[in-house]
Amino acid sequence: MIITQTPFRLSFAGGGTDLEAFYKHDFGAVFSVTLNHHIYVTVHRRFEDNFRVSYSKTEFSNTVSEIPHELVRESMLSAGINQPLEVTTIADVPAGTGLGSSSTLTVGLLNAFRAVGGSVSSCDKLAELACSIEIDTLGNPIGKQDQYAAAFGGMNYMRFNSDGTVRVDRIPCEREVIKHIESHSLMVYTDQQRSASKILEKQTQGTVDKLAVLTEMRDMAGEMKNIVSSGANMQDFGRLLDDGWRLKRSLGFGITNGLIDDWYEAAKKAGAIGGKLLGAGGGGFLYFIAPPERHERIVAALGNPKTLPVSFDSQGSRVVFISD
């Protein structure tokens, strides 16, 4: 049996510039961190001569190519798996909530299946393979930030070059700085799930018309990196988040809706310095920077929605259990 643990990500700035439609014109950049919330993939050899895949439902298949779950199927094919396996996936948070769930799952699956075959996978290799599966093989209109965040873990400034290569720069932070950001972070659940692919497809089609706005959003990733590197002034950090969210809203593409806009403004009035909707848009989690003493007041102003505790994970996808 093999179990992998792979973190979800929280993207602070630059989202959308990791799409090829943008970075083929100029480089893209994203500043993000991984969370202490994960997807777990369990892989076990089966006695029966078939494959069993269990997630929100359970599927049986006689061959790898017949597996309905496309991420499981393509990850197995990529790893050269042909022996009967039982695969189970469990996540700390629901899919479609803006935390990069599909790419996090793909990285975790690849790490597990390659471990079955005896391969030790580098962060770069896991991210490259995950991008190849999701973007090239399956044709999903998504970017590359989620795969690299899940594979590398930690707080990173990622640069997406016009030739398709990606550079990941780990941001060195004192533990006190991390704790400072964590204590000011608040995540609330809108109770709305959505398909990121539909929004990103619209964004890909409209990128050329929005290059100026997206370039400004990309540059904010560098500004935010500098704020954190110099001690993480939360007033500056929050204001930059706020500026970035207002730019992102201006893109259109179904990124926001009436509920999200109302909640955002209510949170600002209750003491949030700034924030954003995580992920491509349309639902999921709202993230705010606010003084810790204002968190309870903000949640009450939004009608006491579910919240997700915020702490950061410094590691990417890893094998946490292995046995014969």
Residues 8 and 58 grouped into a single domain: yes
Question: If you average pLDDT over residues 107-112, what whole number do you get?
Answer: 98
Q: How confident is the model over 29-66, as pLDDT tens digits?
A: 999 999 999 999 999 999 999 999 999 999 999 999 99
Q: What percent of the chain has pLDDT over 90?
A: 82
Residues 93 and 192 grouped into a single domain: no
State pTM to two decimals.
Answer: 0.94
Answer yes or no: are the C-beta atoms of 9 and 104 closer than 8 Å: yes
**Helix, strand, or coil here: 267?**
helix
Q: How confident is the model over 230-262, as pLDDT tens digits?
A: 999 999 999 999 999 999 888 866 678 888 999
Alpha helices in 153-233 (DSSP H): 175-184, 196-206, 211-229
The pLDDT, as a whole number, for residue 201 is 60
Residues 96 and 129 grouped into a single domain: yes
Q: How far apart are CA 15 and CA 8, in angstroms?
A: 15
Domain residues for the domain of 74 are 2-173+313-322
Residues 152 and 263 grouped into a single domain: no
Q: How confident is the model over 184-222, as pLDDT tens digits?
A: 999 999 987 555 555 556 555 556 668 899 999 999 999
Q: How confident is the model over 65-82, as pLDDT tens digits?
A: 999 999 999 999 999 999
Residue 166 buriedness (CB in 10 A; 0-12 / 13-18 / 19+): buried
Question: Above 90 in pLDDT, residue 318?
Answer: yes
Question: If you average pLDDT over residues 18-22, what whole number do you get?
Answer: 93
CATH number for the domain spanning 218: value is 3.30.70.890
Residues 97 and 189 grouped into a single domain: no
Q: How far apart are CA 218 and CA 159, in angstroms?
A: 10
What are the DSSP E strand ranges found in 107-256? Answer: 155-160, 166-170, 185-189
148 backbone φψ class: left, alpha, beta (φ>0; ψ -120 to 50): alpha
Q: How confident is the model over 135-168, as pLDDT tens digits?
A: 999 999 999 999 999 999 999 999 999 999 999 9
DSSP 8-state class, residue 24: T
Number of domains within the chain: 2
